[in-house]
Structure formats: C-alpha cells, structure tokens
Amino acid sequence: MQDDWRLSRLVRRRRFLAGAGALICAGVAATRVRGAAKPLTVGGLPVTCNLTLPVACEASASANGSPLFEFAKYSGWPELKESLMSGRLQAAYMLAPLIMDLADHAIPVKVVSLGHRSGAVIMVRNDAPYRTFRDLSKKRIAIPSRFAVDYLFLIKMLAKEGMTVKDVDVVEMAPPDMPAALYAKAVDAYATGEPFGAVAERAGYARPLKMTRDEWPSYICCVLTVRDELIKDNRPLVQQLVNYVQGAGTWLDLDPANRTKAVQIAAGRKFFNQDPNVLQYVMDHPSDRVTYGDLRLVRSEFEELMQLSLAAGTIKRHGAYENYVDESFVRAIKPASVSL
C-alpha cells in the first residue's frame, strides 16, 4: 500500500509537469531531427544485462564520427525510474515488471526491445549446507527489488519445491552490497543479476544455487524503454537505437573475442567503471551465463512476467500488452554493423 501511495503521488506530480515536459522534449527531438550533434542519453545500471548499451554507444560513434547515444550510469532502479518518469531521461534500460506498472499508472513509456536474456543467479556460501530451496526455509534471502525479475526467479524456484516467499525471509538490498552481506553472513542467499553473483563466486566464497540459464531459458529482465513523446517526435532515432542494440547483441554472441572487447569498453570510467576481470568472468563461466543475440519481443514471455508479478502482488492490475510494448521497431529492425 505504501508503494502504491508513493507511486500515485509521483504520478500526480508528473501529470502537473507533463505539459512543460512535453514541450521541452519536443524541442529536443526537433533539434535532433535537424541534425544536431547532441546524442540521445540512455540511462542504465552497471550490470551485464545492460552490456549491449555501451557497445551500441561506441559502435554508433565509430560508424558516424560521433556517438548517436550516450550512457548515463545510475546506481539504483528508484533513481532511474524517477528520471524516466519525470522526462529527464527519454530512454533507459528498465526492469520489465516496473515498466508494466508505470504504464498502468499512465506514465507514457513503451518497451521497444529487449536488452539481453538470462544473467540472473541465486548465490549461497560455499561452506553452507544448502543444496535445495527446501534447505533455505526460514533463511534470509536478499533481492534487488520486488519489481526485479530476480525476485520472480526466486518465487519460481521456491514453487518448484512447494514453497512460497512466506517460507523465507526476503529483504531488499542494493546488488553491489549483496556479496559483502553474504560474506559477513548477514544474508544466507541472494538473487541478483550479474556481475554481482560473479563477484562472490570469483572471490571463492560463494557458488550459484541456481542460474536462469538452466532453469528459465527465456528469462528477460532489463528491457529497452523509451517515452512516448520520443516515439512520436523522432521515430528514426528510436529505430536507430533499436538497430544498434540488436547489432550489439548479435556481435556479442558472435565471437568470444567480441565479448572480451566489450568488457574492456564497459569496464572503463565512461561506462560501468568496474573490474574487467569480474565482467570477463561473467562472459566465460559459462559462456551463455548471459546472452544477447535473441532480443525479440515475445508476447507470451511478457504475459508470463505479468502473471508472476500479479501473483507476487507487485502489480495490481493486468495490463494489456499494447499498453507497455511497441513492437513496430523490432519488426522494422535492420541490425547495425558493429566494428570495434
């Protein structure tokens, strides 16, 4: 209830500012159409689910002499959501269930592409006796957010053993804090996207209890989202963004050497500002820990997320697929060539 009240308050404030925001955004879009050099800012978190974004930014710069897109790093989903809601950002990689909820609250946003597949893990300590989720009964498990698909992954794994989240103690925690919390035994397990599982695994004190690559092959979490006014005012730019993201995904899955190059790009201060050895570990152990080539928008997969989110109570009403997804850009896709 508190989350609904907070979101409703934000929605009222955004509606009050909507007129001015639309004018500003239209002006920005018109400037872009006239050929201005300013790139489109795309928000995201420094996670490997978002790896197609740094590649797309660099590839567009390489092909055009200057970047068409630039990465804006955010430390958490609440801040990123607020920027997208307010119109400070016109595009971002966002949690799929969160976009469903925003669209249900009349925030004008649409999913235009996936960003990845798989890439989530549920981690436990090496010295813990846990082998099944039944072993985690009454134990403390960290999740990034109740809107995160990592949370839905945990729910699916519990359900396979006849359990629910009421059988464990779920706490919300920022993913960068999770490895240290597990090391200190402040939590017994955590569910998250990479590279924060790999941090603990590579350090030698944790192991995956379950990975989405094994248990949920069609898993999607982060989706490329744009505001409706950007679609209305500058469809060609949105199409270019989708083309470059798909080009980046195809390139990443084409050759292990491309993944190594992507790690070097993403690890830099301009993008994720992370240890490249950790990112490379995600790319290699195993090589399909996260995949990027298949970025189709599949209605049944989003419907599964919707049903899981409704059952979890994070989404209150069933929203129509067309309310939060625009497939037109994927249908018209011409993957950009990536030469890095």
Predicted confidence (pLDDT) per residue in 105-142, tens digit: 999 999 999 999 999 999 999 999 999 999 999 999 99
Per-residue confidence (pLDDT) for residue 217, from 0 to 100: 84
The mean-pLDDT minimum among 110-114, 173-177, 271-275 falls in 173-177
Residues belonging to the chain: 340
The model's pTM: 0.86
User: What dotted CATH number matches 120-215?
Assistant: 3.40.190.10
* DSSP 8-class letter at 336: P
Averaged over 53-78, what is the pLDDT? 94
The mean-pLDDT minimum among 19-33, 36-50, 154-168, 173-187 falls in 19-33
Which CATH class, in words, describes the domain spanning 2-117+219-273+283-331?
A: alpha beta
Q: Which amino acid makes up residue 298?
A: V
- Domain 2-117+219-273+283-331 and domain 120-215, same fold? Reply is yes
User: The sheet that has 109-114: what strands, in order across it?
Assistant: 69-73, 40-44, 91-95, 222-227, 109-114
Per-residue confidence (pLDDT) for residue 5, from 0 to 100: 42
Per-residue confidence (pLDDT) for residue 9, from 0 to 100: 45
CA–CA separation, 50 and 199 (whole Å): 17
C-alpha distance from residue 274 to each of 42, 87, 173, 291 (Å): 19, 28, 19, 20
Residue ranges of the domains in the chain? 2-117+219-273+283-331, 120-215
CA–CA separation, 114 and 49 (whole Å): 10
